[in-house]
Amino acid sequence: MISVVIGGGTMGAGVAHLFLAGGHEVVLVEAGAERASAARRAVEASLAKAADRGRLEAVPHELLKHLTVVERLDDVAAGASLVVEAVPEDVELKRQVLKAAANACPDAVLASNTSSLSISALAEGLPGERVLGMHFFNPVPVQQLVELVLHDGVSADVVARVRGWAEALGKTVIEVRDAPGFATSRLGVAVGMEAIRMLEEGVASAEDIDTGMRLGYGWPMGPLRLTDLVGLDVRLAIAEHLAAELGPRFEPPALLRDKVAAGHLGRKTGQGFFTW
């Protein structure tokens, strides 16, 4: 099958890797020549890393024969069955990209990898029966979950097809109604915000809050370290969105705002709740 991935950043490169490893023909769309070659290098590096770790059955350079990187959607994608957009978290940009995909790929399912935006809002003006959220997790080739986000207008046939594709790629699927933050972001942010409030109130140290959840509740990593990995700015934006949609229980703590204002964004800047 032909799958199109729009946006070749962190998530798009991972999705392209996953689809190649699953035997898809992949068309990866990136804006501009420089970013297109960076996206190709990211997919190459991701496949090479998986091969080194024994997590890839095929040889990377064989898989890469099935990757086409383009700067615009064109005829190469007309026969696509699936489009996944992974451009930055901006409603207008995502709408624009999905609209172009709906025209260029008349038979394709149109999936958004948004981690927080309303799928109904993204589907406005599009053939809604073939639009849904297909939320992957970072790093895409490794993380087990795909969260399908279903707005009222999506067809049951499209949901069944996407579930089948995701399961064939080795993923476990959950289905969630199109509600703010879906299931994962909503719960993840709720715990993350509470952990930051506890730190603010001096209940325990960052290390001890995280150790509590790791060893007491079997979390692979504590909520503060996870916030550092995701990026404090990214988490702040999602919390603000959830507070606007769901009420003050998601209001971001002052400590989070202060750290973002100081440029302490987590692992990517070397400093967040921990020093990296």
Ligand X SMILES: NC(=O)c1ccc[n+]([C@@H]2O[C@H](COP(=O)([O-])OP(=O)(O)OC[C@H]3O[C@@H](n4cnc5c(N)ncnc54)[C@H](O)[C@@H]3O)[C@@H](O)[C@H]2O)c1
Stretch that binds ligand X, among 16-24, 28-36, 148-156, 205-213 (CB under 6 A): 28-36
Residue 233 touches ligand X, criterion: CB under 6 A = no
**Is residue 103 within 8 Å of 130, Cβ to Cβ?**
no
- Answer whether 16's CB lies under 8 Å from 36's CB: no
Residue range at the interface with ligand X (CB under 6 A); choices 132-140, 148-156, 197-205, 252-260: 132-140
Residue 22, φ and ψ in degrees, nearest 5 = -90, 5
CB of 208 to ligand X, least distance (A): 26
Closer by beta carbon to ligand X, 137 or else 219: 137
- Map the footprint of ligand X across residues 94-123, applying CB under 6 A: 97, 113-115
2, 7, 25, 77: which one contacts ligand X (CB under 6 A)? 7
Cβ proximity to ligand X, 7 vs 198, nearer residue: 7
User: Under the criterion CB under 6 A, does residue 9 sit at the interface with ligand X?
Assistant: yes
When binding is defined by CB under 6 A, the residue of 5, 11, 43, 108 that contacts ligand X is 11
H or E element in which residue 27 lies: strand 25-29
x/- mask, ligand X, residues 71-90, rule CB under 6 A, reads: ---------------xxxx-
Task: State in angstroms the smallest separation of the CB of 41 from ligand X.
Answer: 12
- Which CB atom, from 161 or from 268, has the smaller least distance to ligand X? 268
Query: Residue holding tokens 């703590």?
Result: 253
Amino acid at the residue 185: S
Based on the shown chain and the rule CB under 6 A, indicate whether residue 138 belongs to the binding site for ligand X.
Answer: yes
CB neighbourhood size of 41 (10 A):
13
Helix (H) or strand (E) holding 206: helix 206-211
Where in 96-168 does DSSP place strands (E)? 109-112, 131-135, 145-150
For the CA atoms of 176, 105, 79, 72, what is the dihedral angle to 10 degrees? -110
Cβ(186)–Cβ(180) under 8 Å? yes
Q: Which residues bind ligand X (CB under 6 A)?
A: 6-12, 29-31, 35, 86-89, 93, 97, 113-115, 136-138, 230
